[in-house]
Structure 1
Amino acid sequence: MTTQQLPVGSGTQSQKQKLPMAALLALATAVFITSLTETLPAGLLPEMSADLHVSESVTGQTVTIYAIGTALTAIPLTAATAGWRRKHLLLTAIAGFAVANTVTALSTCYPLTMVARFLAGVAAGLAWALLAGYARRMVPVGLEGKAIAIAMAGIPVALSLGVPAGTFLGEAVTWQTAFLAMSALAVALIVWIMAVVPDYPGQHQEHRAPMRQALRVPGVAPVLFVTLVFVLAHTILYAYIAAFLDHVRMADSTDLVLLVFGGASLLSIWITGALINRQLRSLTIASTLLVGAAAAILAVLADSPALVYLAVLLWGLGWGGVPTLLQTAAGQAGRDQADTAQAMLVTLWNVAMAGGGVVGGVLLDLLGATSFPWSVLALLVPALIVIVGTRTHGFPAKRSS
């Protein structure tokens, strides 16, 4: 079922329209594949390193090379494919995942595996820059935020359910089976997209602008700054959560802690989807405060397991909606340059993820695991200042027409 685009100002009428759920769930599945393809090796390192004949730390670089592939190519590929029809581009990205995951599963050569993982990161760069805008175009004015929330639900599902399921499959059968299952899902998704997802034209040459011009659009730079700082803060703690839990003598509870985080993230996605169209600013401020409160508890009261679980619950509630909030803010701020703004957001997101791993490792060696929550607090302060200060553009107090 397709929905007719309504004129600006018809928000009440748009709320009565039905969301194209089959198409939006297809996008959510694409997000799931993108997120799980990136993180799946983390749960399969021992098995992969044995078959590839390299150490686990070297095998772990299959995650790093994925992020590098995304960060290096998201902006130039988005510019190069701006004129492509959107459905064609989406199918190309999903086909890239199918090929890359199949090569990863069949490869017994570490360099070839790294090439496949880099190509998977390239496909991710295309997908991430495309998906939020695609979801926005499918729905009437007033429902864009809810549509993006549905599409972005694939992230917490991948982290809370997909990674444990992939790890179990890898341990029960082989790690290659987990990657082949991802390829099969990608092929099925291609058929799904062809059947239910509408197509849209690309951007005409005369409407495209260089990246510097997009940065000059009011509100884009603040959203990108918040993205860089917020994701860096989150990744420092999330990437080394096992080390932190080991420090507070909760290493045996890592799986349960991550399950609580994932469940809270899913709840956060639902809340975000329900309120984002009118409360983007308030939700972003609330998310920052919740993650900050979680970090404060972990910094001061982590000797209590109950309070650690409370902190992780608050962390998940704060973080779960952040991808949707920032993608929506970037799209609204970017306006006619939304695709370019999204590509820059994707690039900075992956730079922050890679940087979080590096910074977290340095902090762990120099100051120990107790430094993680304090670092999160230090990074969230400037993010909160920018969010609160951008009342007109970026995180506006009133929704722009």
Structure 2
Amino acid sequence: MSTASMVKGTAVPASLPWSGLLALSTAAFTAVLTELLPAGLLPRIAPALGVSEARVGFLVSGYAAASFVAAIPLTALLRGLPRRRVLIGALLGFAVADAVVAVSSSYALTFAARLLAGCVGGLLWAMLAGYAARMVPAERRGRAIAVVLAGITVALSLGVPAGTALAGALGWRPAFGVLAGLALLLVGWVRWRVPGFPGEPPHARVPLARVAALPGVRAILSVTLFLLLGHQVMYTYVAPFTAHAGYGRTGVVLLVFGVATVAGIWITGVLVDRHPRATLLAALALCAAVMLALGPYAGSPAVLLGAVALWGLAFGGAPTLIQTALVDASGPAHADLATSLQTTVYNAGIAGGSLTGGLVLDGLGAGALPWTALPLVVGALVTVTAARRHAFPAVRREP
């Protein structure tokens, strides 16, 4: 391929456009922080809104539910508009929602703001990978997506703890005010450094059902569901599992997992464009091996922490590998709609895995969690193995 590609009439440089990709990565960071920050602030928010901590917890679940419901219809509704305009609209939605949370004393108004944030969050997640793919030549697509999705890892490993610490020092309202300000700054950054792309003209719009039926798409969505179900069965209940193992220091376990995910996404960024299938198979096999080790041997602190580190290493890069496969299968032109499907499946996996893990924990105890997660991860591994031709080829296809 030449040093520049033409995507819908826009010149795309062969080298990574770092400033624009980091703007998209910061958008991912902002979305994750907006979604999860209330979870660590329940005792602080509840008295200010005059409700129980359980009802404040609904501010997180309400966001997730809105994202689940809104991702597909909003993406389909807005697919004809210029892409940068839609991206800026989503960021402005975050700014408004976080600003309302920062000043509101009404639970109903705060909950409505969280629903707005969830809706624009679903729209944003449907856009980010496809946007990154259109900014670079096909041979650098996987690395560009890795850079953008690194914002998720940074938010989980650093952003949420830092936001919680800021709320402890200054109060929870200023913490949400900072998030609103960050979203506004991002609007300027996006206008300055992120290229504009046209929306889909009416004659070129492929119906959602046809995008879902494209070769490889359903297999990739199945892998997403299997992996998220298995992951959430364990991750949601890592605290009771750690206590069951006799270690008890959940904070250390989560820190090890978080640091390992950073390493995992870096390794994936190096390998995704050259060895996508082998890297994903290795990641899924490693996840399965971790569950197999945690079942009988978690009572050893060395095994527990070592297995958690390998789990974080494998899982850290898996979303990038699966997302890149989806963009390749759908093509960048249909990536937003395909990713809206994946966003819905992703949230379904989180909800289903958490529910399944809770039922297993209540019925069989924490020791059964790895054995419950194992067949789900193996299901993802088997699907990747079987879907070699269209979904997970050994060498990435170029359009």
- Secondary structure of the structure 1 residue equivalent to 2:273: helix
The verdict on how the C-alpha distance between 1:78 and 1:107 changes in structure 2, with shifts beyond 3 A counting, is: same
The verdict on how the C-alpha distance between 1:357 and 1:59 changes in structure 2, with shifts beyond 3 A counting, is: farther
Residue 65 of structure 2 is matched in structure 1 by 68
Q: Displacement, 1:52? A: 2.3
CA–CA separation in structure 1 for the residues paired with 2:58 and 2:365: 22
Q: Displacement, 1:164? A: 0.8
Residue 339 of structure 1 is matched in structure 2 by 336
Residue 111 of structure 1 is matched in structure 2 by 108
Percent identical among aligned pairs is: 46
Q: What aligned pairs does 1:88-237 form with structure 2 within 5 A after superposition?
A: 88-237=85-234
Checking the alignment, whether the CA contact within 8 Å between 1:87 and 1:198 is kept in structure 2 is yes
Compare 387-396 and 204-213 and name the one that shifted more. 204-213
Checking the alignment, whether the CA contact within 8 Å between 1:229 and 1:352 is kept in structure 2 is yes
Residue 325 of structure 2 is matched in structure 1 by 329
- Secondary structure of the structure 1 residue equivalent to 2:137: coil
CA–CA separation in structure 1 for the residues paired with 2:176 and 2:280: 35
CA–CA separation in structure 1 for the residues paired with 2:44 and 2:244: 26
- Structure 2 segments unaligned to the other structure (5+ residues): none
Aligned residues: 391
Residue 276 of structure 2 is matched in structure 1 by 280
The verdict on how the C-alpha distance between 1:364 and 1:105 changes in structure 2, with shifts beyond 3 A counting, is: farther
AA aligned opposite 1:115:
A
Q: Displacement, 1:152? A: 0.5
Checking the alignment, whether the CA contact within 8 Å between 1:43 and 1:166 is kept in structure 2 is no
CA–CA separation in structure 2 for the residues paired with 1:247 and 1:301: 12
Residue 37 of structure 1 is matched in structure 2 by 34
AA aligned opposite 1:208:
R
- Secondary structure of the structure 2 residue equivalent to 1:171: helix
Render the CA deviation track for 1:285-315: whole Å, top value 9, x for unaligned. Answer: 1111111122222211111111111011011
CA–CA separation in structure 1 for the residues paired with 2:392 and 2:245: 37
Residue 308 of structure 1 is matched in structure 2 by 304
CA–CA separation in structure 2 for the residues paired with 1:54 and 1:369: 31
Q: Does 1:5 align with 2:5?
A: yes
- Secondary structure of the structure 1 residue equivalent to 2:218: helix
CA–CA separation in structure 2 for the residues paired with 1:195 and 1:237: 42
AA aligned opposite 2:198:
P
Q: What aligned pairs does 1:280-299 form with structure 2 within 5 A after superposition?
A: 280-299=276-295
Q: Displacement, 1:6? A: 6.5
Compare 27-36 and 289-298 and name the one that shifted more. 289-298
AA aligned opposite 1:87:
R
Q: What is the TM-score with the length of structure 2 in the denominator?
A: 0.94
CA–CA separation in structure 1 for the residues paired with 2:104 and 2:367: 39
Checking the alignment, whether the CA contact within 8 Å between 2:95 and 2:183 is kept in structure 1 is yes
Q: Does 1:270 align with 2:298?
A: no
Q: Displacement, 1:376? A: 1.2
Render the CA deviation track for 1:98-124: whole Å, top value 9, x for unaligned. Answer: 111111222222222221111111111
Render the CA deviation track for 1:327-363: whole Å, top value 9, x for unaligned. Answer: 1111111124322211100111111112222222222
Checking the alignment, whether the CA contact within 8 Å between 1:67 and 1:351 is kept in structure 2 is no
The verdict on how the C-alpha distance between 1:128 and 1:177 changes in structure 2, with shifts beyond 3 A counting, is: same
CA–CA separation in structure 2 for the residues paired with 1:294 and 1:45: 32
RMSD of equivalent CA atoms: 1.7
Render the CA deviation track for 1:77-101: whole Å, top value 9, x for unaligned. Answer: 1111111111101100111111111
Q: Does 1:243 align with 2:240?
A: yes
The verdict on how the C-alpha distance between 1:176 and 1:350 changes in structure 2, with shifts beyond 3 A counting, is: same
